[in-house]
Structure formats: structure tokens, C-alpha cells
Amino acid sequence: MVELLPSILSADFARLADEVAAAERGGGTVIHVDVMDGHFVPNITLGPPVVKSLRKATNLPLDCHLMIENANEYIPAFADAGANWIGVHYEACPHLHRTIELILNHGLKPGVVINPATRVEVLLEILPMLHHVLVMSVNPGFGGQKFIDFSLNKIRRLAEIREELGLRFRIEVDGGVAHDTIAQVVQAGAELLVAGNAVFGSGKAEQNARELLAAAKAAAGIAV
């Protein structure tokens, strides 16, 4: 089942509750929250206090995408703040199994995120523990970048591996997902579709979300 995950990175942070409400009216079902530390990625965004405020503003699940070093130190604070899903980067977690166990022990849904240059096969052993795998289709750090085409092969490969191994993790894609790319990512096998600029970039979040979701469902062969 395809779902749209509006990424608040491109929202107006001074009107965050309104922006999230508009994206929800447009059909967004999970809110994607980009956490950046200025070390793992060259940008700084937000931390647990903003997640805590978002938690009060919406009942939708909060998908926290941690683009940070030392994730283990901060996972308890994101759990306390009201996060539901936590995605950590393969490239930033030297003890990935321990990190996934930590997320599970806090009662949250764990995911692993891979950068464009990271191959999906590095996740083989950890896949049975995961709720989702997030394929970055841009280099993380900024919204509004161009979709990297070879990400489609990675999505297809992940879908094949899931089938071969009989697993249930969900396939998420993030970066450059917009009106011109959303059908391709759905056809490749992605079902959790993160979109920042395409939802919030032009100040019409509700309408943008509705149109993106309709395009995604059409590509998935679901009546809209």
C-alpha cells in the first residue's frame, strides 16, 4: 500500500502545526522528520523539542530520519519526545545491530537508511529486524535536490531480496520524489514515499499532497 510521507524539512517552521495539518488533509499518513547534526551531514535542523511539539500537533506517526553521529545517545530522547519510527544511517552506525536493538527496546519501529553510494546487500543480516529500509535517492542534507536515477535499481533489488527471503520490511524512498519521479519509484517497488519540496515548496501543501498521492496510487494500480 503506497503512503505519502510529507517531509517537514521544506515546511515553514514558524507555522509547523498548520503545515502538517494541511499535508494531512491532502492525504499524508506519516510525518517525516529530518534530524541533522552538522557533522554526519552539512546542515543542522531540529531535535527532540520540536518532535515533542509535533507530537502535540498531530496524531499521525512521526518518522524520525536521524542524520546524526552517535545516534545511540539520542534515541531515548526521541522516544520520550514521541517519535514512532526511527531510521538510522548505515554509514553513521558502526554497531548497527546494537542501535536497532535500542530502538526496539524503546518500543519504536526501526529502520535503516542507506546513502546513494551504499549497496543494499550490506543490510542482508539486519533486514529481518527492520520495519523499514529507506533508500536515499539524493545525498542527505538538503531538500529540493535532483533524484538520482540509479536509486530505482536499488529499490528493485530490495524488493527482490524481500521476496526471496520472505521478509516484511517496508521500502521507503527519500529525495527528489516529486510529480515527475513518483510513478517510477512506485513501479520500482517503493511504498513509503517521502516528499519535502514537492509538498511544501510552493505553499499549497494540501493540494500538492493530494496530487502526489493520486499519481502514486495511479502508478500502483489503485483506483483513486
Q: Which residues bind ligand DX5 (CB under 6 A)?
A: 7, 9-10, 32, 34, 65, 138, 140-141, 143-145, 174-177, 194-198
Q: Is 176 annotated as a binding residue?
A: yes
Q: Is 80 annotated as a binding residue?
A: no
Tell me which residues in 159-178 interact with Zn ion (CB under 5 A). Answer: 174
The footprint of Zn ion on residues 21-50 (CB under 5 A) is: 34
User: Residue 168 is placed in which grid cell?
Assistant: 516484511
- Collapsing DSSP states into helix, strand and coil, what is residue 88? strand
53 binds, among ligand DX5, Zn ion, none (CB under 5 to 8 A by kind): none
Is residue 174 among the annotated active site residues? yes
How far is it, in rounded angstroms, from Cα 137 to Cα 147?
6
Which conformational region is residue 51 in: left (phi greater than 0), alpha (psi within -120 to 50 degrees), or beta?
alpha
Closer of 82 and 144 to ligand DX5 (Cβ) = 144
65 is in an annotated binding site: yes
Shortest distance, CB of residue 48 to ligand DX5, whole angstroms?
18
Which CA distances in Å does 166 have to 3, 16, 154, 161, 169? 22, 39, 18, 8, 10
- Does 175 show up as a binding residue in the annotation? yes
Rounded Cα–Cα distance for residues 14 and 30 (Å):
20
Rounded to a whole number of angstroms, the minimum distance from the CB of residue 52 to ligand DX5 is 20
Task: Give the one residue of 24, 26, 60, 65 binding Zn ion; rule: CB under 5 A.
Answer: 65
Q: What is the DSSP letter of 26?
A: T
180 is an active site residue: no
Pairing, β 109-114 against β 132-136: parallel
Work out how close the CB of 113 gets to Zn ion at its nearest, in angstroms, rounded to a whole number. 8
Q: Kindly list the catalytic residues.
A: 34, 174
